[in-house]
Chains A and B, each alone.
Chain A
Amino acid sequence: MKKTILRTLAAIAATTIFAGLAAAATPPYAVMATNDLGMHCACPTFDGFLLLPPYNTIRVQVLKKGSDSVSVVSSGITVSYSIAENTDAILKADPYFASWIKNAPKLFPGFAPVNATGNVVGLKGKKLADTMTYDSQSMSWKAEGIPVYPVTTGNATKDVMVDPLGGPNRDPFLTANITVKNSTGAVIGTTSTVVPVAFGGCCGCHLKLAAANGLPATPAGSFALLGTMHAKNSSKINIAMIDPDGDGVGGPVRCSWCHADPAMGETVAPGWPTGTKLLPGATFTLKKSTRSFSDVLHTFHNNSALVKSSYDANISTNCYQCHPGNKVDCYRGAHKAKTAIWCVDCHGNLTQRIAGKQMVTPWQAASLPSCNGPSAGITSAFTCHASLNIPQTTWTSTFGGKYINGRGGMGSKVVLCESCHGSAHAENPSAQALDNVQNSNIHTSLGTTFPSGKDKTYALGSCQVCHTNESNVWSNRVMFGD
């Protein structure tokens, strides 16, 4: 308990100090940090199967202010981050994360989740506190695949996420404190951003499903049942009878071995590890699917009579039944905070998404909405920013649409959309106050004035964020140059 209190106090102190520095270090750099997606998924165990690994990505833009021109600082500085609520010791002591440490080398052969010096590292080698690397495409300093995981902080206002296995609540909105130093080691800018990661709602139904079928209402019971259910599809594969590590027990199985997942950077299914065995009694042979993980998962749930009639009659619209939602609020940005717009208005409901073959190329611009309109083939009930001729440049990637992979602004279009507007799904002003801290700090430090109905929590809207001699009145046309 004492440790928890000390950790919390340390986190608060760190945040306060950094916020203070941010205010003090206004000129001559602007520093904006964001998480890329607005929410990442986590599971409480990795013993059976892996949907997604702990994998969070932060991008930081450092801009050197000028009168007219602004330059992106791409070298000569060191940009680093530190996760306030996660430490090596905390994660190693967490039984859920320990399951990741135990199973990660089996799920990703060759990967060591704890390095030689005892640091917890992510799939791209990033530690919980580390330096960032400049990425010329996004013009940002990037740390990809940070192994952030929701933890119990002991602060009841932060620990809002229910543990589906009955443990104490956890904090899904963690904090990355960012420090920028020049070549002499002097701090030239700081900020902080939310690093969100949460459990989905899967256990809510699947533990009950296991019990209804005479199996323990545990992840192990659920995995056993999923195996027999999977064996009923055309593959005949019982995933619970796949034994990658040869220990005589089924699992751990990585779904994307057979169903490629672009969220993991895959365009084709990589296949199972060498030496993978099948448990005695298995009558199937392993084979890779041509369908993406997103495709098979969404299609099954939307089209299943059992799912609809026993668990959720409205599943095609209820994204939060599976995705981190409700009080965790994956979708919490301005679209939600200010309007009645739902997930399905941008992405389409599951029936539409399947019919439109979105999941053939999931997580990509071809299947994702943009500011100008909903996903291809979807007719939204609401008008998007269709008439807005946004000065934007985008690039394609296996992960993310035009908002995540887009930069805007006059001239050379150097500013990431997310740097000013916030993370996807958590756009400013967000219903989650933590998402608004960075913009509030920047606007406050500049002394920006706001028109009626707007305030410091809104998207960065003062010319003085980047320009030293321009207007300091908030405007939603700030990037249009008029």
Chain B
Amino acid sequence: MSQCRIYLHLVVTLAAFLFIILSNVSNVSAGDFDFAKTKVFMREMDTRPDFPVTMVLAHDYVYSLISIGDKVNTKEAEAVEAFIKTNQHLDGGFSSDKHDKETSILYAVHALETLVLIKLPPSIDLGRARTFITSLKNADGGFGFSANAKESSLNNTYNAVRSLSILSSLNMVDAAKTAAYIKGFEHKEGGFGYVKGTGVASAKFTYMALYSLKELGKLDEATKANALKYLNSSAYGKSTKEKVDSLQMLEEMGYTIDALKLLGAKGAIDTKKANGILKQVYIKQNGGFGPIPGYGSTPDSTFLGLRLLVGAGKLKAPGVYSLVKK
């Protein structure tokens, strides 16, 4: 019995040892970054009298702090909530800040995602938010940006699907029609781009298309296979030896990981490349991340860096993703 126990201990110890070794060899390591500095960098925002300044920064602030294990204090959470409420307009939509009078789907999705993260009972008008989002629906199945910029696009459609998902209102979308619109952006060589019928695919638009199709229940095997082919063969993929050079973006690497996770292809994530990019864009002086190597940190790109670490499973994913119970 005791021999069995010793044997078991040896096996467990050996397995743990191998796990640690393998983790350090190939995986993205959160230990390469000083999150105490990151916290100070992001918290510069809440020292400002006009905190949180803009809708995007409010989102980046909340997501970043939570992902590194910091707490969004009640005072800041309430300030964020009040800011979002102030920037909801009569049509139910949201603007970037108090100076911006144009409501759009872009700031609606940022507002809703932020509200999910701070976990305060939302005081915004959810009904009017739904009305605003559905008002942007076009006959082609896509969604426009705003009342003034009505033209459908893939990213506007993603933002609409994401927003309605948070509001548990995807039943307000004509799933077949919207899915057909999204599929129009698929490239025959794989992936999705933001221009129909020409140009190159990107991880960002591939993720947006996959997410939307999945939420709408229209993500088929052929589309998944085609997307996986693209993601694997891009500069950020595991199966290509193409060097991710200085001009490649942190954002694309993050979306590649998110898309592969969504496809259930975690094994295809190139953690070595991801770690390489993260190390190149990490600014050790202030703990932030820059958008590309050689550039300094911004709150926006710091959020992207942390989201990548969340995607790679090295930081905890903040929040749950629904504002309204289904």
Contact = CB atoms under 8 A, between A and B. Distances in A.
Interface of A: 160-162, 164, 166, 169, 204, 207-208, 211-215, 303, 305-306, 308-310, 312-314, 316-318, 320, 325-327, 329, 340, 348-349, 351-352, 355, 381-382
A212 B57 contact: no
B57 A317 contact: yes
A263 B248 CA distance: 33
A308 B104 contact: yes
B239 to A, nearest CB: 21
Contact of B195 (A164, A213, A305, A329): A213
A306 B245 CA distance: 26
> Counting chain B CB atoms within 10 Å of each CB, which of A207, A313, A352 scores highest?
A313
Contact of A204 (B47, B102, B104, B292): B292
Contacts of B302: none
Interface stretch (B12-20, B77-85, B152-160, B318-326): B152-160
Contact of B295 (A162, A214, A317, A352): A162
A208 B144 CA distance: 22
Contact of A313 (B44, B110, B202, B245): B110
Given A305-B149, A314-B300, A329-B296, A351 B100 contact: yes
B296 A325 contact: yes
Contact of A327 (B151, B194, B296): B296
A305 B104 contact: yes
9 contacts: A164-B247, A204-B292, A213-B198, A310-B155, A314-B300, A326-B296, A340-B47, A348-B99, A349-B54
B256 interface: no
Nearest to A329: B296
Given A310-B194, A340-B47, A316 B292 contact: no
Nearest to B146: A305
Nearest to A316: B96
B316 to A, nearest CB: 24
B54 A166 contact: no
Interface string B199-225: 110100000000000000000000000
Nearest to B145: A305
A352 B99 contact: yes
B227 interface: no
B293 interface: yes
Given A212-B194, A212-B202, A318-B300, A309 B145 contact: yes
A162 B292 contact: yes
B294 interface: yes
Contacts of A313: 56, 96, 106-107, 110
Given A313-B56, A320-B298, A211 B96 contact: no
Interface string B105-123: 1110010000000000000
B28 to A, nearest CB: 23
Nearest to B43: A340
B199 A381 contact: no
A162 B246 contact: yes
B100 A327 contact: no
Contacts of B145: 305, 308-309
Given A162-B247, A326-B295, A382-B49, 10 more contacts: A162-B246, A162-B292, A162-B294, A164-B247, A204-B247, A214-B200, A308-B106, A320-B298, A325-B295, A340-B48
B291 interface: yes
Interface in B135-188: 144-146, 149, 151, 153, 155-156, 159
Nearest to B197: A214
A317 B202 CA distance: 25
A308 B110 CA distance: 12
A204 B97 CA distance: 25
B237 interface: no
Contacts of B96: 313-314, 316, 351
Contacts of B153: 305-306, 309-310
Nearest to A309: B155
B53 to A, nearest CB: 7
A342 to B, nearest CB: 8
A214 B49 contact: no
Contacts of A320: 298
A351 B298 contact: no
Contact of A211 (B57, B100, B200, B294): B200
Contacts of B292: 162, 204
B296 A214 contact: no
Contacts of A317: 53-54, 56-57, 97
> Counting chain A CB atoms within 10 Å of each CB, which of B47, B202, B298 scores highest?
B298
B247 A351 contact: no
B99 A351 contact: yes
A381 B46 CA distance: 12
Given A166-B247, A316-B96, A340-B47, A212 B195 contact: yes
8 A-B pairs closest in CB distance: A162-B294, A214-B198, A305-B145, A326-B295, A326-B296, A305-B149, A314-B56, A381-B50
A476 B57 CA distance: 35
A156 B14 CA distance: 44
A316 B296 contact: no
Nearest to A160: B294
A447 B305 CA distance: 46
Nearest to B47: A340
A195 to B, nearest CB: 21
Contacts of B290: 326-327
Contacts of A326: 290-291, 294-298
Nearest to B159: A309
Given A212-B199, A351-B100, A318 B159 contact: no
Contacts of B293: 162
> Counting chain A CB atoms within 10 Å of each CB, which of B146, B193, B246, B247 scores highest?
B247
A312 B146 CA distance: 16
A318 B47 CA distance: 19
Contacts of B144: 305
A357 B245 CA distance: 41
A93 to B, nearest CB: 23
Nearest to B45: A340
A314 B298 CA distance: 11
Given A162-B293, A306-B153, A327-B295, A212 B200 contact: yes
Given A310-B194, A316-B97, A169 B56 contact: no
Contacts of B56: 313-314, 317
Interface string B21-48: 0000000000000000000000011011
